[in-house]
Structure 1
Amino acid sequence: MKHKYTYFLLMALLVGITACKKTIDLEPLPQNKILEYKISNLKDTVMYAAINQLNNTITVYLPVFYGLSLIDPEIKVSEGATLTEVPMPVGVYEQDKKYTVKAADGSTNTYTLKIKVMNPVKLNAIWPANYLVNGEMISYPLNSTVFSGNFNAFGTGLIQVDLINKKSGKVIKVNDAEIAWRPGTIEQSAFFTPNATIDTGVYQLNLKYYDQDIIMKEPLHIVHRQPDLLMPSKNVKQGESISFPAFQSIFLGLKSVKVKLNDKDTYDLPVIGFTPLEMTLKVPDNFPVGIYDYTAYFTFEFENWKAVSKLGSLSVSAK
């Protein structure tokens, strides 16, 4: 009797446990994920970023020899989800770019982009030795300024140049420096052009190349040079204005302009105005009508600079 009682008790307990058991479903995975981040602007190949779903980061490991100044991504997200903005090219110096994914249920998830450049070579850059004067690199506004380095790539936008005026502390950013291969060497040359309005003075040059920063050993000294200009052929009417552009220099203190015709009479061309890059002159109402095919001899006078003389072609018609 005792054994039967124990048997019925065990059966009742088993039935009770079975009756209470029910299935518990796992919570669905969020559908607001970035699943793939592909770099599509590489020639003959593609590259994929590493996506960390725990800390929501996208890391691009970029070999320096690709010479990319920006990356153009193609992004794949969870089914039914969308990015809150259209993916656009990203500059390689732009860190912490954000991407937000919005799921069909309205939930969002934000990722941070990290760009890490694979460049094991320690950056080195030097000025051409024959351009140094008393330990300074001499250059001019609008003059192509060159230095060499081991950049292992070529293109525009790969180098960021900060010109720091040693006297005023003013910083000028140059983002369009260009790297080119030097034939017959393992190094490359980089070029940039100081703009027309840059202040003269001594500058410290800070170079940023991907994830490396260096300061050039010798400073850059910007000075002005003798103003010069181009002399294109001009067709003009009496009383009108004519203009001439600067050439590898800027205009400084333009005082007066005269032109001598056919090695005879000389006429003033009053200065209407000038900028660092262009001068505008007035042709007098009484200027002789005629075609002066390289028989017009111009003289330009500048404050604190020697006069510049040019032979030009000028055609003047009646107003």
Structure 2
Amino acid sequence: MMRFSLHATFSGAWLAMALLVATACDTDYENAPYPYKELMAFSFDANGTTVEAAIADGQILLYWPHALALPASITPLLAVSEKASVTPASGTTVPLQDNVTYTVTAEDGSTATYTLKVVVNQPPLSLDEENPTIVWFGRLADIRGTNILLDASRTAVSLIAANGEETPVAIDTIVDALATGFGSNILAQIPEEGAALDTGWYKIKVVTGVRTATTTEPVLYIRYPYPTFDAITSAITVHPGETFTLHGKNFRQLEDARVMVQDGSEEYYTLTQVSFTPNEITYRVPDDMPVREYATILPGITDTFSGFFEYSYQLNGFPNVHPQLIVTESEK
């Protein structure tokens, strides 16, 4: 007859139960879905260079050098926690701009959101508002400022009229006069008269890289070009009461002229303006003008910007012809 120890029987039962519980616990642990949902890496290729973003506190921080133009889009490669997925997926092209959002989903269904933030390492832009610029049509305007990118393809200049209308102007050159690695002067081409702009005061707007600045007040004045005269190559001979015509360009601000007596006595006579076009002006000799030689014709000019009136000595340049006007007796 076989005998069993009650103690041994209970010990074996407890051992079996312990093994079953342990096995069950191991099975539950191995089959639990992963809760991990971390975005671990974010990188992309930029002209052959691998750019990696910093990831912290739900942000994908992309620090971008100012000297490199921002592309419109990127195709990043992503790494996430084991058994997690990400949307948009790794290798998907997205716009390179703030607030592009990535969602990482863990195996257990929980999610974490990461937002792209582009930080361009470009210093603030400023424009000189203390020194107004006065420029003629068709000339270069010197626009002064700080931290202007030297790449003209990434910089734009506009002039803003009093009515708010904004007109872009072409950039001729960007100058780094202070040797800082940034531009200090933009030479901008003002269009020819009648092309796009009128005379008057304008605010200046500059966009360079990711920076934009606009002057708070109008600081650039566009004026008509100063009149220029064709040289007198021989004396003009007229009778009292007759007219004669001078040629040149930009004849707009001209008034009556005067002539100086040839003997250097500082005695002057007035010539009345009869008519003018942009390229010629006609003067009339007074009926009672003395018959003699006159050294220099001095056209009267009013500056449309300052309102200042002066008599121009342009006709006294090369070739230096004197007398320039000869008044002879009228034919009887």
TM-score, reference length from structure 2:
0.44
- The structure that has the greater radius of gyration is 2
TM-score (norm 1): 0.46
